[in-house]
Structure formats: structure tokens, C-alpha cells
Chains A and B, each alone.
Chain A
Amino acid sequence: DAKTTQPNSMESNEEEPVHLPCNHSTISGTDYIHWYRQLPSQGPEYVIHGLTSNVNNRMASLAIAEDRKSSTLILHRATLRDAAVYYCILSLHTGNQFYFGTGTSLTVIP
């Protein structure tokens, strides 16, 4: 399985930026980096994905290291609704499987 490493948990204060790190040292040249989040009692929700360049959308930004061995999901202003488990995933060019690790549980403090 393609491996990603994330901290088990993180905390953030409400309305402050959050940087969620992910290491993926075994990434190959055409593997994509995806982020999903899972709120309690819901299915995972797509957040963002990218290949090499940094990506922005309405939910978050994805910063990808130049060597692509790590990435950071940035929530610009955390809200209480952002409390969730965040998964960093590699989707392999050699197949169509998305392997989820254990993710980072984000707690947002009011």
C-alpha cells in the first residue's frame, strides 16, 4: 500500500490558520496527492488534490514540497465545523486505488 504519515491529532484555535502535514516519501512521479476529511457519522468528503504545483480551492490550499515527499493542507481560518479526521492519500498511477491511512484528528477550540 502507498504509505503516508500524518500526526494522529492536532488542535487549533477557532479563526486561526491550520497547517496539517503529511509525509509521503515513497511517492512516484505521477502519483497524485489527495486530501479528504471525515466528519463524525458521515462519509469522507473530498477536500483537494494536486500533483506538483500548489493548489487552492474554496475549502483549502495544498502546498506540495518541491521534492514531492511531503505536503501540507492549509485551512486558512478554522471554524468549529472543520473539526474532523483529515486523510492524506496517494492515488497511484499504477492503479485506481485510493489507500486511506489513519488520518489526523483535528480539534478546533472555540
Chain B
Amino acid sequence: EDKVVQSPLSLVVHEGDTVTLNCSYEVTNFRSLLWYKQEKKAPTFLFMLTSSGIEKKSGRLSSILDKKELFSILNITATQTGDSAVYLCAHVNTDKLIFGTGTRLQVFP
């Protein structure tokens, strides 16, 4: 059974800090890994990482995929209070998403 594990479960930082969120996976047939940000209800799509796209960057956020070691990280530099949210990692398994438990990030001024 496919499994996605995220760490840490929660993180508290101050504005300006840099954070690294981890996502490890054990899957039978890797297709792609997705990162989402969930503030209140709707998870918002951040990145999609595949075998042909193992590094993505958008502003202060970046993500890499290590297919050999079976993990991905999401980096956020110069954090802002607006980055406070739950960050979800998910593996795409034949048209369904297998989610990790998420990392709750709290950024204080």
C-alpha cells in the first residue's frame, strides 16, 4: 500500500526565517508528487514534481525531488505571516491522491 509521510507535524518560526518541510514516500509505481498549501478549506496547488521535473521554484518557495532516496522537500525562504498554513504532500497513484498528514506551519511576526 502506498504511503506518504511528512515531517515535522508542526513548525513555529518567526518572520524572515527559512523553513524546510519534508515528505518521504513508499510507493509501488511512482508517477508524480504534488505539494499543496491549505489555509482554511481549499488546498492550493503549489508544485508538481515528476521524473522529468525534479526541481521547481516559484518566488520564495522551491521544491526538489530525490527519486533515489524517495523524498521531497519544500523550502520557504524569508517566511511571512501569510505563509502560515498546513502544507500537504501527495503522491498521484492512478488518478487518486495519497496524502501525507501535512505539516502545520505557524509564522509569527
Chain B binds chain A: no
